[in-house]
Chain A
Amino acid sequence: MTFRPFKKYGLLGINRRNACYTLARNPRALYPLVDDKLKTKELLEAHQLPTPELYFPIRRNYELRLLREIKFLKEFVIKPARGAEGRGIVVIVDKFEGKWKKSSGELLSIDDIEYHVSNILAGLYSLGGVDDQAFLEYRVRSHIIFRAVTYQGVPDIRVILYRGVPLIAMLRLPTRESNGRANLHQGAVGSGIEMIEGVTLGGVHRDKLVDCHPDTRIPIAGIRIPFWNQMLETAVRTFEVFKLGYVGIDFVIDHILGPLILELNARPGLSIQLANREGLLPRLEAIDALGQEVENLSWQERLALSNQIVAKRSNGKR
């Protein structure tokens, strides 16, 4: 444990992220747009940005009866609108003798589902325990290229945008430990992505550097992310809708629909630096050095700027 890597790689710490980036660049008034996934979804759909289709929201307890409709559904995802760190998400993959099968294989009755949704509404999974809303959406099925390095669930790709310029990205792979969720806190594996080609580098699992997926033992480096350029383009265009200065955009790649924006995060985590073996500060400072006009660039220009900045790796390896 030394301070050396913080200097050498330009690692960003939580305090600095909060004080200089999230607090300074993300206007408080815009937080509800990303903290409430229902609002995010509406906004994305209104601007023709791809996102998994919303089936129906459940905003009040009496709307629980809407859940009767799911008897016609075979697969869907239940999400809390304000859930944090993937909490409260239930993925239904199949219907089986009047019960629904979770991605973990557990069977849920209609009562179990109703109980879960009422817990969501009461705010059990929301930030600060405030009342919440739930919604059902299209279940994304993972692109085939990730099958070998995924344990249940769907991997997602997080791209961090600073003032509209993509700076760093990571592929998040669910593990048995994370219960099929793509969240590093819960034990998912993160893998850095080379930004120009869209090819994965090594990975990180629970603060440790790894080369293989811990469950499948398949190497996670060298995967070429499908639709990479299209995804970056979508990310850059998202900035025009959300105007958050420092934001993480989570994509999933559906085997039919291609890249979809799952959610936005106004306080993206810092483990992405471990996954990329790369500090964020040099890139952030490179953009700040350009002054005020960065926000006024067109999305094509910002994409070009991103390519220019990520080309320089701080530790000189390529």
Chain B
Amino acid sequence: MSATTAEPAPVRGVAATGGVRVRKTADAIATVVLWAMASSIIVMLAAFIIYIGYLGWSALTPSFIFGVPKETTAGGGIGPEIYNSFYILILTLLFTTPIAVAAGVFLQEYARPGGFRSIVQFSAESLATVPSVVMGLFGLLVFVYTFHWKYTALGGALTLTVLNLPALLRVTQEALSSVPDSLREASMALGGTKWQTITRVVLPSAIGRLTTGIVLIAGRIFGETAALIFTAGLSVTANKPYDLNPFHTAETLAVHLWYTHSESVVPDVDRIGNGSALVLLIMVLAFNVGARLIGRALTKRFTGRSS
């Protein structure tokens, strides 16, 4: 290219380094690099999924998915562990959802800034950064040492309730703040009380986002491990693998994967690990896709809007 191209004189100041061509090249390089970095995340995630699928595919037999685990011999299944994961998940959601939604409604719709509200907010932020292993030891202190429950499904679920409370509170607050004020004003103008406005106008409008958030968190509860090792235990109820009693020990699938790898003596550790990892991954995928579908359907049903 000829040098006669009309380049503006370099300006001395913040935005000036080199000529236009240098700056444009830098811009192009930066764009390409950032695209590559972002794409690499997608490629990496896809590779993980394919790899886990490749490892675990052959392990997924009916006798593995529905069978009971073995203590010392090969051929154990993960049926009771899958059952326990769902059992603890449902218990946890039963406790944590009402508390988190109520607290979220209070903070978002009633509480004035300052004082009580900021203490709750600070507690929630602190609670959100508590490592799950620390939460597990807290559960051990409260439910096993203080209440003398031993390792129980209920103790595990209550520990997970506290662990997931901040995330669910946040989801609630975000869902509520996405509801436009004009809806609240319209309801009040028609003579609705604040409570009526919240239960009949605000919550139905927020239900889609709320449900999406809850199901995503459910996926995380399903795979939680560190908080359950010391609260729900490392074994399933003897002689009664599908146990409804919340006061019995309940090893979940994620805990089983860790325990099999690090402590147990069965010879087919790899098979159980590969299969469990794939089942966990499939469940998380299902929760992620399900969250979107359910959220979209609910929003449409309760507000008539799409998305």
B partners with A: no
Query: Using a CB–CB distance below 8 Å, which chain A residues touch chain B?
Result: none
